[in-house]
Amino acid sequence: MQLFQGGSVHTFLKIDPRTKLFLLLVVNIIMINGSTAGAAAIYKPILACLPFVLLLTGKRIVAAFVYGIIFAMAWVTDQYLSGYLSGGINIVIALVSGLSTRWLPCGMMGYYLMATTRVSEFVAGMEKMHVSQKIVIPLSVMFRFFPTVSEESGAINNAMRMRGIRVGGGKGGVIAIFEYRIIPLIMSTVKIGDELSAAALTRGLGGEVKRTNFCSIGFGMWDILMFLLGTVFIALYFLL
């Protein structure tokens, strides 16, 4: 489990993190709220193609196609079949497809943002948007911490399996299985966190001076295009 990328990322389209955030917001507002009838039945699927295309440019081919196929199936079910469905399992299918048409594009847009952006780039973008340090520092700590936590969690899981504390292992109930994993995880995370604070303070985090950032980000031609595209969709959404 990793949010954002540690190393450099190769994409065909180099888009500024701020543009990606804007597009995520656009997809979010339009896809989650609002109907799928009338004019929305036309511009919503077009907007849903945006994460697909962007994922392709980010070389996430498999993810792009899986998303495309699921969304298409959900859209068809939601638009044309849901009126004819009846009976328990079909209602669940209709509900799932109804939810997928709304949430899946946002999820994939978020995935694109994280899969093609480095942590430092994201932080640089936040700083250029003049987001308070009180938000930026915890966020960057979080992005650094997700891989650490999943690594720790894997190690703890192995240890507990060896002791037989697992589903079907015969030792302890559900609560013990949960407790014996979560408590050590919290303990080790807090300890690592204390060490991280000490290290970060030594390196001048929280000082008076403005910190510099290695990543150079800025708007280019594609960013302008994407902003125009997003604005057009927002205008369509509010006017139609």
Partner 1 sequence: MKTNKIDAKDLINVGIFTVLYFIMFFISGMLGYIPIFALLIPLLIGILGGIPFMLFVTKTNKFGCVTLMGTIAGILCFLVGQSWISIPFGIVFGFLGDIIMKTGDYKSWGKTVIGYAVFTDWVIGSMLPMWIMRDVFFEQSSKQVSGEYLDALMGYTQNWMLPVVMVLGLVGGIIGAYLGRAVLKKHFERAGIV
Contacts for 217 with CB less than 8 Å, ≥ 6 apart: 16, 17, 18, 121, 124, 125, 128
For 208, the token pair is: 């008076």
Q: How far is the CB of 30 from partner 1 (least distance, A)?
A: 11
* Measured distance CA(30)–CA(94) in Å, rounded: 21
Comparing CA positions, the residue from 123, 145, 135, 132 lying closest to residue 3 is: 145
**According to CB under 8 A, which one of 133, 158, 159, 171 is a site residue for partner 1?**
133
| Residue 200 within binding range of partner 1, rule CB under 8 A | yes
Extract the runs of DSSP E, i.e. beta strands, from the chain.
none
Sign, CA dihedral 77-78-80-81, equals positive
**According to CB under 8 A, which one of 114, 177, 229, 234 is a site residue for partner 1?**
114
| Residue 142-161 contact track with partner 1, rule CB under 8 A, x = bound | x--xx--x------------
Query: Which span (9-17, 65-73, 199-207, 218-226) binds partner 1, by CB under 8 A?
Result: 199-207
29 versus 229: smaller Cβ distance to partner 1: 29
> Which phi and psi (to 5°) does residue 131 adopt?
-75, 140
Q: How far is the CB of 77 from partner 1 (least distance, A)?
A: 10
Q: How far is the CB of 118 from partner 1 (least distance, A)?
A: 15
* Measured distance CA(113)–CA(154) in Å, rounded: 26
**According to CB under 8 A, which one of 53, 183, 225, 232 is a site residue for partner 1?**
183
